[in-house]
Chain A
């Protein structure tokens, strides 16, 4: 038998049988099907961005960005809303990023598996599942009324902080646990403390993931409407067009792009039809720019990956 096989010309050994052909055909079909699904995912994005930009183009200009809205928002630009969104996002992240990252370091690096850790983890998971309008209602009760902050930028920012915290904790934990356990054990074996291990090995090698997670929360914070509507965003408010402190975060309410979009699209019947789309374009571009930054940061830090 083996002698007969070895006498055949070499090519005959690899002749396609019907079974092999069938396998190859199925492989091709599967690949095309899954690839098609992946491609289909891109279509909505292109349609949304394209439609919004085309519709909004007539209203877009440099003046649109840098002048205050007038006549309840139907004339003028979006300056005060743009500034308000930047204020809210910045303050919110300044609160949620440190708390989130530090508690994730605790949970991932220090916490023993006991009732306290389990409660914290349970709280994180459940907090992530709370609808944003409920966060808004909580912020209204806790910050605006109970803490006496009134409707203000801080109230809105703190509400958004609480909303983004669980996501930052989850993404940071994931980044930390991507650092192999053997690195930690090697450090402990030579007498390093947990903190020395974290500072010299774990954090430097997970910072890209941590930063990406935090930056992605910028776009989410900028886009939220419901929580800020209840806690500190006004439908109309003009600010100075120059200067550093355009709003006082403690006392002032502000405008926000998301809320402005909602208001113009639903409440202002005599606004130019391109106006809501122009606002949406600005919001989209801001979000896409932030996401692009996140991708850039990640790519840069990955290129310096050390194992």
Chain B
């Protein structure tokens, strides 16, 4: 385990900057509150696992962090989310924030462009034009997402024509293409086979050296394999947040945590 020893929960140390600092986050859609004031932080180069059943606010939480929640007119956000010490809701350049955060949705989305253009999309929107720079970046991202060997001979063919698992790796390559500092994976493995999943998990272990990873997952064992700390989110509240070892042992403080990770929740 590479994470530092757990610090006292009461007083966060101010000297070490937190990658993401969430304080008293509230979110409601129209009049229905879905996240009820949660606080947590994420250390740099940490993998934070977020587990919890459907409708517990996991995806909404991610959308608050990269502010794509702005596109939902009925959403109201309260509290603060700081990325590298800056409140995301005060940021004028939200596009810069989103480039800092790579986002992978549950279902693969191949844009109706060629494989090459799918990966080059984000760098191009931020003004990168040089062909050899783009070539290098596209290759690097496709290698990182374990897709390069399968598509290197047909980068011109449509990304939407790839198989589901390939498209998901393409989505991950696109999320890496703007060289994010934080990578959010929202149940990335529900559309891909176990072998590919394991390959991507290996990739994530590598990527941890370069970036912070938020891993939302329905597979509790996936969180156990990858995450340094795991958060159990349920109905918009944090039930428990602790190191993964504690969460998956009988030392978990909340009975519901034990029940959920052992599949006897309900």
Q: Which residues of A contact B (CB under 8 A)?
A: 112-113, 182-183, 185-193, 196, 200-201, 204-205, 306-307
Q: In the complex the two chains form, is A186's CB within 8 Å of B125's CB?
A: no
Give the shortest distance, in Å, between B151 (CB) and chain A (any CB).
Answer: 16
Contact B125 A113 (CB under 8 A): no
What is the CA–CA distance of A17 and B224 in the complex, to the nearest angstrom? 56
Q: Which residues of B contact A (CB under 8 A)?
A: 66, 68, 71, 73, 95-99, 102-103, 105, 107, 109-113, 121-122, 125-126, 158, 160, 171, 174-175, 177-178
Given the known A-B contacts A112-B73, A189-B98, are A205 and B112 also in contact in the complex, defined by CB atoms under 8 Å?
Answer: yes
**Smallest beta-carbon distance A196→chain B, Å:** 5
Residues of A within 8 A of B111 (CB): 183, 186-187, 201
Closest to A306 in B: B112
Q: Which residues of B have CB within 8 Å of A192?
A: 95, 121-122, 125
CA distance A49 to B40 in the complex (A): 73
In contact, B174 and A190 (Cβ under 8 angstroms): yes
Partner of B109, one of A112, A186, A204: A186
Listed A/B pairs (8) with beta-carbon separation below 8 Å: A182-B107, A188-B71, A188-B98, A190-B175, A192-B121, A200-B113, A201-B112, A205-B112
Contacts of B99 in A (CB 8 A): 190-191
Q: Give Cα A182 to B160, complex, Å.
A: 13
Q: Are A190 and B109 in contact (CB under 8 A)?
A: no
Contact A190 B98 (CB under 8 A): yes
Tell me, in angstroms, the Cα distance from A201 to B159 when the chains sit together.
13
| Minimum CB–CB distance for A149 against chain B, Å | 42
Closest chain A residue to B158, Cβ basis: A306
Question: Which chain A positions have C-beta within 8 A of B66?
Answer: 189
CB distance from B226 to the nearest CB of A (A): 21
B103 touches A189 (CB 8 A): yes
Distance of B216 from chain A, by nearest CB (Å): 14
B122 touches A113 (CB 8 A): no
Which of B68, B111, B126 has the most A CB atoms < 10 Å from its CB? B111
CA distance A256 to B111 in the complex (A): 47
Could you say which residues of chain B place their CB within 8 Å of the CB of A193?
95, 125
Task: Please indicate the chain A residues that have their CB under 8 angstroms from the CB of B121 in the complex.
Answer: 187, 190, 192, 200
Give the nearest-CB partner of A188 in chain B: B68
Q: Chain A binding site: helix, strand, loop or mixed by DSSP?
A: helix
Q: Enumerate chain A residues within 8 angstroms of B105, measured Cβ to Cβ.
A: 182, 185-186, 189
Decide if B95 touches A186 in the complex (CB within 8 Å): no
Residues in chain B near residue A196, CB distance under 8 A: 125
Considering the chains assembled together, what is the distance between the CA atoms of A215 and B241 in angstroms? Answer: 60
Complex: A28 Cα to B160 Cα, angstroms: 39
**Are A307 and B126 in contact, CB atoms less than 8 angstroms apart?**
no
Contact (A185, B125) CB under 8 Å given A191-B99, A306-B158: no
B88 to chain A, nearest CB (A): 13
Q: CA–CA, A186 to B108, complex, Å?
A: 10
A182 in contact with B109 given A112-B73, A190-B174, A192-B121 (CB within 8 Å): yes
Instruction: Report Cα–Cα, A193/B99, bound state, in Å.
Output: 11
Are B109 and A183 neighbours in the complex by a CB distance under 8 Å?
yes
Alpha-carbon distance A192/B99, docked complex (angstroms): 9
The 10 closest A-B pairs by CB, nearest first: A306-B112, A190-B122, A191-B99, A191-B98, A307-B160, A189-B103, A191-B95, A186-B109, A192-B125, A182-B109
Complex: how many Å from CA A201 to CA B158?
13
| Complex Cα gap A24–B123 (Å) | 58
- Select which of B112, B113, B160, B177 is within 8 A of A190 by beta carbon: B177
A196 CA / B178 CA spacing, docked (Å)? 15
Q: Is the CB of A189 within 8 A of B68?
A: yes
Residue of B nearest to A183 (CB): B111
Q: How far is the CA of A196 from the CA of B109 in the complex (A)?
A: 17
Chain B residues with CB below 8 A from A186, complex form? 105, 109, 111, 171, 174
Pick the most buried of B71, B73, B103, B109: most chain A CB atoms within 10 A of its CB: B109
> In whole Å, how far is A11's beta carbon from the nearest beta carbon of chain B?
40
List the B residue with the shortest CB-CB distance to A201: B111
With A185-B68, A190-B175 already in contact, 14 other A-B pairs whose C-beta atoms are closer than 8 Å: A186-B105, A188-B68, A189-B103, A189-B105, A190-B122, A191-B95, A191-B97, A191-B99, A191-B122, A196-B125, A200-B121, A306-B112, A306-B158, A307-B160
User: Smallest distance from the beta carbon of A204 to chain B beta carbons, Å?
Assistant: 8
Shortest distance from the beta carbon of A87 to any chain B beta carbon, whole Å: 39
